[in-house]
């Protein structure tokens, strides 16, 4: 089996429109949560989110493409352009894959035309509605943009979408099925309907996101995309390119338990599966980027899951406290944060942390990044519907 290197990283998030801006924000512990600007929140119980502000798609696409693509694909395209340029790898042809994750697809475009239909009683529909709204629009766009003619598809598993996507791409490169993959996740969920749906679930915090903290009151929605170029480590070394990190393993599981309540056993099974797939003992893990949504249920359950697997849990943080919960893009953005931790020797913090919660008795990296030279790290993703995926990463310079 081949080892798999990450040679390209691209990020668009509330913390900025580039990988450099994202990394710098993690270093400084910048929190991008603020009043929602893209949607009117009158009558909503919450008013804060982590939006991607000031994103100009014309910096990344020609005007015709901007019209044809949903906001979620703008993010995917911008993140992918960064990752591909970073890696310097040509992805063209049948030996390359694109696997993207997205929970809800082109919701912003869908909301706009449904508003015309239901509220404005318009009788004509924009003919680009269907291709703009389809959840695989980002994968299709990227395949055309880079000439990728191998396996190209989208995985939709709610808040774990990008982790399942990256895991699938990783396995394809590791097994030799393809020689390169462009993978990650994207999401643009800010529409009146989606905000109402989240409000009705009573899981969104009215103030901010405080994962693992006693005062946590729920999640804060985010948006954006992160994309990665994967290739065999041997090929990357032969090309002499920079290796950000190594993707070592992926573990998946399902709770088969409840549509919204997480199960510690299911999450623990995914953690164990990731360690087994990476052939790593739990004691080798130096950091966990938690799912850490900031809801009372997730963080306590995730703590129990981590304690089931780790006799002495490594430091843990949730970067959702900075970039929000980007749903189908969350695992990709957090994979980038995990790559940052390994590459920079700096564990990104859980911001807005106040008081330790006895139900979350972990070593939480709180309110400031923590220097730590580590070899291996995990990134957790646990979705509504009980679908779990954990990615295992190694530092890029390990033998």
Partner 1 sequence: MPETLEERVIRVIAKAQHIPREAVSTDSKFEDLNIDSLDGLQILFALEEEFNINIPDDAGQRIRSVRQAVDGVAALVEGTGESVNMQ
Cβ distance to partner 1 smaller for residue 58 or 354: 58
Cβ distance to partner 1 smaller for residue 124 or 202: 124
Cβ distance to partner 1 smaller for residue 127 or 358: 127
Torsion 358-371-16-133 (CA) sign: negative
CA distances from 328 to 10, 29, 95, 183 (A): 16, 23, 26, 13
Report the nearest approach of partner 1 to the CB of residue 63 (Å): 5
Task: Judge contact between 153 and 70, C-beta under 8 A.
Answer: no
- The upper half-sphere exposure of residue 37, i.e. CA atoms within 13 Å in the direction of its Cβ, equals 10
Cβ distance to partner 1 smaller for residue 126 or 359: 126
Report the nearest approach of partner 1 to the CB of residue 322 (Å): 38
Query: What is the helix (H) or strand (E) element at residue 4, kind and residue range?
Result: strand 4-13
Catalytic residue among 17, 325, 343, 360: 325
Cβ distance to partner 1 smaller for residue 28 or 65: 65
Pick the closest to residue 367 from 341, 349, 355 (CA basis).
349
Catalytic residue among 31, 159, 209, 360: 159
Tokens of 315: 């430091």
User: What is the CB neighbour count within 10 angstroms for residue 272?
Assistant: 17
Report the nearest approach of partner 1 to the CB of residue 71 (Å): 19
- Beta-bridge mates of residue 184: 100, 227
Is 257 a known active-site residue?
A: no
Cβ distance to partner 1 smaller for residue 20 or 58: 58
Cβ distance to partner 1 smaller for residue 35 or 63: 63
Report the nearest approach of partner 1 to the CB of residue 124 (Å): 6
Q: Is 109 helix (H, G, I), strand (E, B) or coil?
A: helix
Q: Enumerate residues 6+ apart whose C-beta is below 8 A from 307.
A: 313, 361, 362
Catalytic residue among 17, 164, 291, 323: 291
d(CA 173, CA 154): 17
Report the nearest approach of partner 1 to the CB of residue 130 (Å): 11
User: What is the CB neighbour count within 10 angstroms for residue 202?
Assistant: 9
Cβ distance to partner 1 smaller for residue 126 or 397: 126
Task: Judge contact between 353 and 340, C-beta under 8 A.
Answer: no
Strand ranges for 290-399 from DSSP E: 316-317, 346-347, 370-371, 376-383, 387-395
Q: What does residue 121 show for φ and ψ, rounded to 5 degrees?
A: 55, 35
Task: Judge contact between 184 and 79, C-beta under 8 A.
Answer: yes
What does DSSP say about strands 152-155 and 346-347: parallel, antiparallel, or unpaired?
unpaired
Strand ranges for the chain from DSSP E: 4-13, 34-35, 48-49, 96-101, 152-155, 180-187, 224-232, 245-254, 285-289, 316-317, 346-347, 370-371, 376-383, 387-395
Tokens of 324: 């929000």
Report the nearest approach of partner 1 to the CB of residue 64 (Å): 5
Report the nearest approach of partner 1 to the CB of residue 116 (Å): 11
Residue numbers of the site for partner 1 (CB under 8 A)? 62-64, 124, 126-128, 131
Is 164 a known active-site residue?
A: no
Task: Judge contact between 82 and 227, C-beta under 8 A.
Answer: yes
Q: Is 184 helix (H, G, I), strand (E, B) or coil?
A: strand
Report the nearest approach of partner 1 to the CB of residue 131 (Å): 8
User: What is the CB neighbour count within 10 angstroms for residue 35?
Assistant: 9
Query: Which residues are marked as active site?
Result: 159, 291, 325
């Amino acid at each position: 089996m081949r080892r798999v290197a990450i040679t390209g990283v691209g990020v668009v998030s509330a913390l900025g429109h580039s990988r450099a801006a994202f990394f710098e924000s993690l270093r400084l512990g910048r929190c991008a949560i603020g009043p929602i600007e893209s949607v009117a929140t009158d009558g909503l119980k919450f008013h804060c989110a982590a939006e991607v502000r000031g994103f100009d798609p014309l910096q990344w696409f020609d005007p015709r493409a901007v019209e044809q693509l949903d906001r979620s694909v703008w993010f995917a395209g911008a993140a992918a352009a960064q990752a591909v340029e970073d890696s310097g790898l040509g992805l063209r042809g049948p030996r390359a894959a694109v696997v993207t994750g997205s929970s809800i697809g082109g919701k912003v475009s869908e909301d706009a035309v449904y508003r015309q239909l239901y509220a404005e009683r318009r009788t004509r529909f924009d003919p680009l509605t269907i291709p703009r709204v389809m959840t695989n629009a980002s994968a299709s766009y990227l395949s055309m943009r880079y000439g990728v003619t191998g396996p190209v598809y989208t995985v939709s598993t709610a808040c774990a979408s990008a982790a399942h996507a990256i895991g699938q791409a990783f396995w394809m490169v590791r097994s030799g099925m393809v020689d390169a993959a462009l993978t990650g996740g994207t999401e643009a969920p800010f529409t009146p309907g989606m905000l109402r749906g989240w409000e009705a679930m009573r899981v969104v915090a009215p103030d901010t996101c405080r994962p693992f903290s006693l005062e946590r009151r729920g999640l804060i929605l985010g948006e954006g995309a992160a994309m990665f170029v994967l290739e065999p480590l041997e090929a990357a070394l032969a090309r002499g390119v920079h290796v950000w990190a190594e993707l070592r393993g992926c573990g998946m599981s399902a709770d088969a338990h409840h549509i919204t309540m997480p199960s510690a056993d299911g999450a623990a099974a995914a953690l164990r599966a990731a360690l087994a797939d990476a052939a790593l003992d739990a004691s080798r893990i130096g950091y966990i980027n938690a799912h850490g949504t900031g809801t009372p249920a997730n963080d306590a359950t995730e703590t129990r899951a981590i304690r089931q697997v780790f006799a002495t849990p490594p430091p843990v943080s949730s970067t959702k406290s900075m970039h929000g919960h980007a749903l189908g893009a969350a695992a990709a953005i957090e994979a980038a944060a995990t790559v940052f931790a390994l590459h920079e020797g700096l564990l990104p913090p859980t911001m807005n942390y106040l008081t330790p919660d006895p139900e979350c008795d972990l070593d939480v990296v709180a309110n400031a990044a923590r220097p730590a030279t580590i070899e291996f790290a995990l990134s957790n993703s646990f979705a509504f519907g009980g679908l779990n995926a954990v990615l295992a990463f190694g530092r890029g310079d390990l033998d």
